[in-house]
Each structure stands twice: as C-alpha cells, then as structure tokens.
Amino acid sequence: MPQVYERVALIGLGLIASSMFWAMKRGGLAGEVVGYARSAETRETAREIGLCDRVCDTLAEAVEDADLVVLCIPVGVMGAVAAQIAPHLKAGATISDVGSVKADVIAQVAPHLPDNVHFVPAHPLAGTEHSGPASGFAELFDNRWLLIVPTEGTDPAATAQLRALWEGMGANVEEMDAEHHDLVLAVTSHAPHLIAYTMVGVADDLRRVTDTEVIKYSAAGFRDFTRIAASDPTMWRDVFLSNKEATLEILGRFTEELFALQRAIRQGDGDHLHDYFTRTRAIRRGIIEAGQDTDAPDFGRGGERSK
C-alpha cells in the first residue's frame, strides 16, 4: 500500500488514535505520525509503548507541518481545540475528526479553520469498551465502516485522499450528509448506549437482587449491556448533548414501542410478541450477512481482543 500522507498528527491518544497509528504503520500509509494528548501521563505512556513516531507536548508542535490532522477527542471540546490549532496549520492541510456526532462538530470546528485548509469530517464505526493509549490495535477498522461527511465546499481531492487512508487501514468507506449521519447513529449507537446505561442503572437500583447475583448470573443480554455501559463517560455525555434532537426522536419512538410491548405482555398477546421478535431477529441476521458480526455464541466476541 503506497504512502498516503507524509505527516499525520493525531490529537488525543485513546483507542481510535492508537488504532489509527498501528493501522497506518501496518500499511505504510504515513511517513511520520506525531501525537499529542492533553494529559502528561498519557503522553508518557504513549512514549513508553512506542505509540507514534513522535509525541509532542504542545498542540502547536503536533500540528506543525502536518498534512493531515485528526481530532480524536470528545466532541464537546472539538471547537476549543480547533481554535487552538488554527494559527499553526500548514496551508493545504486536511483537518478531520473521528467524532460520532457530525452536525454539531462541523458547527463547532468549521468557523475556526483558516480558508487555506480542507475540513473533511469522518466517523469510524468501530470500537471496544477499552480506552486509553494502550487499548489500540491495527485490526480495529478491518471490514468496519468509515463514514465521511464532507462539508459544503469540501475539496474532492482532499476527500479522496482521506478515503484512501481509511481504505488502507482496512475500512469500508461511504459518504453521508451530517444530519442523516446523526439520525443513523442515534438509531444504531446513541440510543442503544443510553438504553444500556439505563438497564445497568436499573440493576443497580434493584437492591432485592444483590450485586453479587447480578455479576454472577449475568446472561449474555445483561452482560452485553454492561459492556456498552463501560464506555468512556466523558465521550458519551458529549455525544448525547451534541446529538440531542436525533437521540430524543429515537428515544421517543423507543418509548412508544416499549409501551406497546408492555401492553402485549399485560394482555397475554403472544401473537404480537412473536411477530415483533420475528421481525427483530431478521435485523440480526442482516447484520451477520453483512459481515459486521458472526453467528457464533457470545455475540461473536469470544475471540476478540480480551484485555
């Protein structure tokens, strides 16, 4: 795979950034990858494990002469960081991100960027419940989707170059507009996370079921909820506040469906329940057929990196 960028700067060194580094190294996609994290402890860990060719102590140093700058930070701080890096960006550089909300990030970041750089927002649909610089691995994006969300006036050549990088890191790439992206993610990610947090919270509230019983007898359903609920709290707080409208719309629909299921159970309406579960089962089959999970027990995660 030929080199796509001479110098890449990763701002924020968590799961996604560290996986990007290892994936770029695996494919020989960048000449040099520099990194920056706000926490001195994170920067030190990154240096110890060889994450990035160079770890910088300031944002300005990290983005200097970078051909691609990727913001791998919580969506709530994207605007502030964009304002800090703006004066130090090289003319012609591409600025991208990995945030799971797009309309709000574009509104935060775009006004700060100078006219002589390209802004190409993106979102990799990949992750684990682990976070931090040591959590990344080169295979994270293999056969996972990467959504590019070009803004008005985004340079097609800059978009094509970013696409080449993500395809080189193993991802399937599609383009989507920001509002549609945020609605899709509210359905596939944001609302499910909120529901998972709620279920784990409910288990914590039901003191008649002891903590040890919840942990000891967790069947796959609850266990998967806890896996989702282990995700980074800062990131998810920012996601819900940034994608408020779409998330509330989907949660409203969820509440309606939940009331209908409650009614069916109360009235002993087995036909309704069976039809509903048959329809939802078909969605699971579609996910497996699309190669986005396996039909193996334990939701296909038995062989995943267990750390």
Average pLDDT of the residues in 273-286 = 91
Q: What is the pLDDT of residues 199-231, one digit of tens each?
A: 888 877 776 677 777 777 776 678 888 888 888
Phi, psi of 298 (to 5 degrees): 60, 35
For residue 19, the model assigns a pLDDT of 97
Mean pLDDT of 235-255: 92
**Which of 64-68, 222-226, 275-279 is predicted least confidently?**
222-226
pTM given for the model:
0.85
pLDDT digits (tens, 9 = 90+) for 77-131: 999 999 999 999 999 999 999 999 999 999 999 999 999 999 999 999 998 778 8
For 122-180, write each residue's pLDDT tens digit. 999 998 778 899 999 999 999 999 999 999 889 999 999 999 999 999 999 999 999 99
Share of the chain above pLDDT 70, in %: 94
> Measured between alpha carbons, how far is residue 70 from residues 84, 99, 118, 263, 272 in Å?
14, 10, 12, 48, 48
Report the C-alpha gap between 1 and 192 in whole angstroms: 36
Confidence band (pLDDT; 50, 70, 90) for 303? very low
Rounded Cα gap, residues 51 and 59, in angstroms: 17
How confident is the model at residue 207, as a pLDDT? 67
Q: What integer best gives the mean pLDDT of the chain? A: 91
| Tens-place pLDDT, residues 35-52 | 999 999 999 999 999 999
pLDDT of the residue at 244:
94
Q: Which residues, at least 6 apart from 216, have a Cβ–Cβ distance to it below 8 Å?
A: none
Residue 307 — pLDDT band, cuts 50, 70, 90?
Answer: very low
172-175 β-sheet, strand order? 122-124, 145-148, 172-175
pLDDT at 130: 82
Q: Which is more confident, 75 or 225? A: 75
User: 54 pairs with which residues across the strands?
Assistant: 34
Domain ranges of the chain: 5-176, 180-268
297: left (phi over 0), alpha (psi -120 to 50) or beta: beta
At 243, is the secondary structure helix, strand, or coil? coil
- In the chain, % of residues over pLDDT 90: 72
- Determine the pLDDT at residue 204: 73
**CATH of the domain spanning 180-268, picked from 1.10.3660.10, 3.90.1300.10, 3.30.565.10, 1.10.1380.10:** 1.10.3660.10
pLDDT digits (tens, 9 = 90+) for 289-302: 888 887 764 544 44
* 3-class DSSP assignment, residue 157: helix
Q: Which CATH class, in words, describes the domain spanning 5-176?
A: alpha beta
